[in-house]
Amino acid sequence: MTDGIVFERMALIGIGNLGSSIARAVRERGLVGTIAVADFSDRALARAAELGLGDSYDESPAEAVKDADLVVICTPIGTYGAIAEGIAPHLKPGAVLTDVGSVKQAVISAVQPHVPDGVHFIPGHPIAGTEKSGPDAGSGALFEGRFWILTPLEGTAPEPLARLETLWTRCGALVEELPAAYHDKVLAVTSHLPHLIAYTIVGTAFDLEEQEQRDVIRFSAGGFRDFTRIAGSNPIMWRDIFLNNREAVLEMLQRFSEDLSYLQRAIRWGEGDKLQELFTKTREIRRGVIEANQARPFPYGTSGNGNGK
């Protein structure tokens, strides 16, 4: 790891919002020697090449991972099993294999059976990103001050784990380790359920009469605008997240439904004290998010140096 380099060769499988942000972050900080980019989209590969995000570009993940010291899967979770199976024979002994998926138990189930002996599989999840997609959506500043969760498996060797933590820390992230099941339950509340609610509310607006729909769009207040931003996220990615974290999401959705019924009754019967009590409690959550420095917006990608806008 001389001259600031943590991994000599990195392979990025998928060059969308997170993949391109990783490429920019490690490139800007001089943390990786060379970057091999793989993506199933010819257009994405061509644009990544125009932006100089990698040193080589290939549609085949198996080709990209050859001789890589670090492999990062940055595709929708539903593709992980097939990708892991395809790259397994080509992974370099001693290589670190990780990912950026928002679900961890399903990722482990899909990937671990294919990991060869001598390859270190360390699941991960940067709690960062925007609703934008594609190579232009990346930003080298995306991970600064954001949490990057690792869910190492039992028996993970300390040296590759420390090396991966060093890489993400030097990208500006706050690295923490969590059990996979606990990660999935927490993210069901902080990320997955809010997205489900946003999709539902925006879907409700879509089903309004034509004039009402136009006026909802014209007169969008801040709350609805935020919901439309969230609902503008990659539909394939979020389909896979819900299907692969269904138990935790359904548990939290049930709790939310019960709380919503409580609010419905309070509004119906004019119980303002109950509404005020709940709204007071929720303000404390907002203060906590601000104090944790997680309230600032994510930087958006640029077609230039990836410093955001």
Model pLDDT for residues 277-309, shown as the tens digit of each residue: 988 888 887 777 777 776 667 675 443 333 332
The C-alpha atoms of residue 133 and residue 129 are separated, in whole angstroms, by: 9
User: With bands split at pLDDT 50, 70 and 90, how would you rate the model's confidence at 7?
Assistant: very high
Q: Is domain 1-309 given the CATH code 3.30.70.890 in the classification? A: no
- Whole-number pLDDT of residue 284: 80
- Whole-number pLDDT of residue 3: 57
Asked whether the predicted pLDDT for residue 45 surpasses 50, the reply is yes
Strands (E), the chain: 7-13, 32-38, 56-58, 70-73, 96-99, 120-121, 124-126, 147-150, 174-177
Asked whether the predicted pLDDT for residue 39 surpasses 60, the reply is yes
User: With bands split at pLDDT 50, 70 and 90, how would you rate the model's confidence at 221?
Assistant: low
The mean pLDDT value for 220-241 works out to 78
Among 135-144, 228-237, 261-270, the least confident range:
228-237
Closest CA to 135 of 38, 207, 218: 38
Domain ranges of the chain: 1-309
Q: Hey, CA dihedral for 1, 31, 93, 68, is it positive or negative?
A: negative
3-class SS string, 50-95: HHCCCCEEECCHHHHCCCCCEEEECCCHHHHHHHHHHHHHHCCCCC
The mean pLDDT value for 176-187 works out to 95
pTM: 0.82
| C-alpha distances in Å from residue 272, one per residue of 242, 260, 264, 283, 305 | 35, 15, 12, 17, 51
Choose between 25 and 290: higher pLDDT: 25
- What is the token pair recorded at 125? 């999840």
Query: Contact 118/286 with Cβ under 8 angstroms?
Result: no
SS3 178: coil
Choose between 75 and 192: higher pLDDT: 75
The C-alpha atoms of residue 23 and residue 10 are separated, in whole angstroms, by: 9
Largest CA distance in the chain: 68
Q: Which residue is it, tokens 């950026």?
A: 100
Query: Contact 23/138 with Cβ under 8 angstroms?
Result: yes
